[in-house]
Amino acid sequence: MSIIIEPKSDERHLVMGNEAIARGALEAGVAVVAGYPGTPSSEIVESLASVSKERNLYVEWSTNEKVAMEVAAAGSFANLRSLCVLKQNGVNVASDFFLHLAGSGTRGGMVILPCEDPGALSSVNEGDSRHFSRMLEIPLLEPGDFQEAKDMTKWGFELSETLKCPVLVRSVTRLSHASGTVTFGDLPTTEQQATFKHDGFVLDPETGPVISAPVNYKHGLQQQKVQQAMEMFEASPFNTYSGPDNPELIIITSSACNLYSREAIKQLGLRDRVGILKLGTTWPLPPRLLEKHLRSTNKVLIVEEVIPFLEESVKILGMELAEEIGIKKFFGKRDGSIPSTGELNPDIIIAALCNILEIDYVGIPAEYEEKAVTHLFLGAPAREGTFCAGCPHRASFWNISLALKMDNNEGFVCGDIGCYTMAVRSAGFSTLKTLHAMGSGTGVASGFGKLGQFGMDQPVFSVCGDSTFYHAVMPALVNAVHHKSDITLVVLDNSGTAMTGFQPHPGTETDVRGEEAVQMDIESICKSIGATVFTADPFDFKTTQETLHNLMKMKGGVKVLVLRQICALSPEKKGTRWFDMSVTESKCLGESCGCNRLCTRVFSCPGLVWDPVKKVSKIDDVICIGCGVCSDVCPVGAIDKKELT
């Protein structure tokens, strides 16, 4: 049995932050769950899907975030509690619908739950969705520990149902992906009935149509809800203060920074001098609570990650209250006390506190730091992020790179987000030259492909993964076909949402609950849109490169090449070996003119290793998955493959 459906007890469970969030949703009686996979959010939907039968949930991985929010919203409109889970910056994708949803209001409690990645540990940006709460005027909750991750998720549904508007509950990597102890509450036992009432009075939030018009009225109503939320937040148990009555300095913080701040104060022994106001309700801020604490001190340090969102809200209140509480000295991002990019940690807060309070403290002795740096930079071999052994993307980019370079007309590839993002670097032979949001490669390519009238005749390629194809490439492809943009889209089809853990997508046979789904076919979709479509196996260098050259010769219009080869780590393929690989040392040219380590220096599959003593390449049998591709990379046929039955 999944831990997230353990019955209520006094026992404390060690769970991942994402599991705590899932448990919170279950305790709230969530019925509809939709999301799009992505770091660091994926485990929420997956763990809920794993109990969907026991708890009678509808759970889906939607085609993209906007659709996910729409699917979840339908649940709310039908009086069910619904959850929309988004990866970091997924709110951006859904934001168009989100704006309308904030205006129309909701019925059953609806929580929008983005998990974000300050420091971009596994992302290409550190987008911060907190601004959406201010921009769209909806309440924002930020859990500060694992218990709160469960409790605040649960409360988010109640709040949403009270206010009749969606509620944002925001997590971050260090909460979602770390584990902590959580005490579980009751799981509801009532059956839920879905009905969408729509025939009532047009302004009736319970029975009328769900629309954001008349805008003036609905917008005003929405702002009343914000006021109501503010009142409720004044007494929220998720806003806590610990410290002396009149601290020398007060830290105002939220989310994972709460834990860092507590550790910093403990480390410096400042419990008698510094207080922490931990806020769980970060928009709108409860003014009377803030007034009370701002009055108690003259120095305020706001600790949060990335943009100064909380800092600005606190400063606005500080200004509004200045006549009553006096002028405060604020520290945070604007004065440089706290960096505005990257993750925070206790050391950064310790440094800020020492600076502000003029404390002489050496966290890490200079001698130790020097030793650590020496070991880090001299002891460890230099490594760049790369594709796994046997990854089809390495072969695909080898083909694309060779074809474009041989064509020698300054052709380039526009890319987007997926494992294949790594092709901006040596892992993919630096083939990607633009890199933006999911689906953007093809949209950008569509634009490049129309610049012929200004004399541009460079070949234009875009790449996308199979999941991304459905997510956001299709509209861009339609645009390119409609406008006769001269581009080639290469779909890197590795048969699953590989990067985030093989979640199903519209091209797979089953859905997240393991039930049979209608499987889409990329080739048929592209053909019906009007593109010229080819399919090849990226492991077949000759056919793939010939096809790419032929596509470049076909001037005008959209060409699609589906490069299909299943991910080496996929559950179906993992652990299977097609070939036994070996290097004939006498044939290997090694570093000499004629090869110069093409396989280990350029192709660089982790399954190939350079033997610096013998000066030849060798196969690392532990890492090699026996895909056989490198035997076609070697210019002199020194890498042998023996088929395994």
| Closest distance of CB 569 from other proteins, Å | 26
- Contacts with 25 (C-beta within 8 Å, 6 or more apart), sequence order: 33, 44, 48, 81, 83, 111, 153, 154, 157
Nearest Cα neighbor of 549 from 473, 461, 481, 469 is: 461
| Closest distance of CB 592 from other proteins, Å | 8
| Closest distance of CB 417 from other proteins, Å | 26
- Contacts with 126 (C-beta within 8 Å, 6 or more apart), sequence order: 88, 116, 117, 118, 119, 120, 306, 341, 342
One of 235, 550, 596, 644 touching other proteins (CB under 8 A): 596
Euclidean distance between CA atoms 337 and 351, whole angstroms: 8
Nearest Cα neighbor of 240 from 278, 266, 281 is: 278
Q: Single out the segment in contact with other proteins by CB under 8 A; choices: 344-352, 505-513, 524-532, 588-596.
A: 588-596
- Between residues 5 and 633, which has the closer beta carbon with respect to other proteins? 633
One of 602, 614, 620, 621 touching other proteins (CB under 8 A): 602
Euclidean distance between CA atoms 141 and 237, whole angstroms: 12
| Closest distance of CB 407 from other proteins, Å | 7
Q: Is 635 in the site for other proteins (CB under 8 A)?
A: yes
| Closest distance of CB 410 from other proteins, Å | 11
Phi and psi at residue 7, in whole multiples of 5°?
-65, 165
Q: Is 595 in the site for other proteins (CB under 8 A)?
A: yes
- Between residues 223 and 592, which has the closer beta carbon with respect to other proteins? 592
Residues in region 426-455 near other proteins by CB under 8 A: 429
| Closest distance of CB 599 from other proteins, Å | 10
Q: Is 546 in the site for other proteins (CB under 8 A)?
A: no
| Closest distance of CB 631 from other proteins, Å | 14
3-state SS class at 473: helix
Q: Single out the segment in contact with other proteins by CB under 8 A; choices: 12-20, 243-251, 509-517, 593-601.
A: 593-601
| Closest distance of CB 457 from other proteins, Å | 11
One of 362, 366, 382, 593 touching other proteins (CB under 8 A): 593
DSSP category for residue 387: P
If you count them, how many residues does the chain have? 645
Note whether 310 and 252 are within 8 A (CB): yes
| Closest distance of CB 251 from other proteins, Å | 51
Tell the residue number behind the tokens 């009142």, with chain if given.
231
- Between residues 420 and 429, which has the closer beta carbon with respect to other proteins? 429
What angle do the packed helices 392-407 and 541-553 form, to 10 degrees?
Answer: 40
| Residue 53 burial (C-beta neighbours within 10 Å; 0-12, 13-18, 19+) | exposed
Q: Single out the segment in contact with other proteins by CB under 8 A; choices: 201-209, 343-351, 370-378, 585-593.
A: 585-593
Binding mask 379-418 for other proteins (x = CB under 8 A): ----------------------xx--xxxx----------
3-state SS class at 57: coil
Q: Single out the segment in contact with other proteins by CB under 8 A; choices: 103-111, 307-315, 344-352, 591-599.
A: 591-599
Number of residues that bind other proteins (CB under 8 A): 17
Residues in region 179-238 near other proteins by CB under 8 A: none
Phi and psi at residue 484, in whole multiples of 5°?
55, 40
- Between residues 72 and 639, which has the closer beta carbon with respect to other proteins? 639
- Contacts with 121 (C-beta within 8 Å, 6 or more apart), sequence order: 39, 173, 343
Half-sphere exposure of 379 (CA within 13 A, CB side): 7
- Between residues 97 and 429, which has the closer beta carbon with respect to other proteins? 429
One of 12, 594, 637, 644 touching other proteins (CB under 8 A): 594
Structure-token pair, residue 595: 């090869």
- Between residues 212 and 545, which has the closer beta carbon with respect to other proteins? 545
Euclidean distance between CA atoms 564 and 526, whole angstroms: 15
- Between residues 364 and 406, which has the closer beta carbon with respect to other proteins? 406
| Closest distance of CB 601 from other proteins, Å | 8
3-state SS class at 414: strand
One of 194, 221, 598, 623 touching other proteins (CB under 8 A): 598
- Between residues 291 and 407, which has the closer beta carbon with respect to other proteins? 407
Residues in region 457-516 near other proteins by CB under 8 A: none
Q: Which residue type, as a one-letter code, is found at position 452? A: G
- Between residues 53 and 405, which has the closer beta carbon with respect to other proteins? 405
One of 585, 591, 632, 640 touching other proteins (CB under 8 A): 591
Q: Is the peptide bond before 284 cis (omega within 30 degrees of 0)?
A: yes
- Between residues 102 and 552, which has the closer beta carbon with respect to other proteins? 552
- Relative to beta strand 12-16, strand 58-61 is unpaired
Nearest Cα neighbor of 279 from 307, 302, 297, 295 is: 302
> Containing H/E element for 322?
helix 322-325
- Between residues 267 and 386, which has the closer beta carbon with respect to other proteins? 386
- Between residues 422 and 444, which has the closer beta carbon with respect to other proteins? 422
User: What's the N-to-C CA distance of the chain in angstroms?
Assistant: 38
Taking phi over 0 as left and psi of -120 to 50 as alpha, with beta for the rest, 241 belongs to beta
Instruction: Give the residues lining the site for other proteins (CB under 8 A).
Output: 401-402, 405-408, 429, 549, 591-596, 598, 602, 635
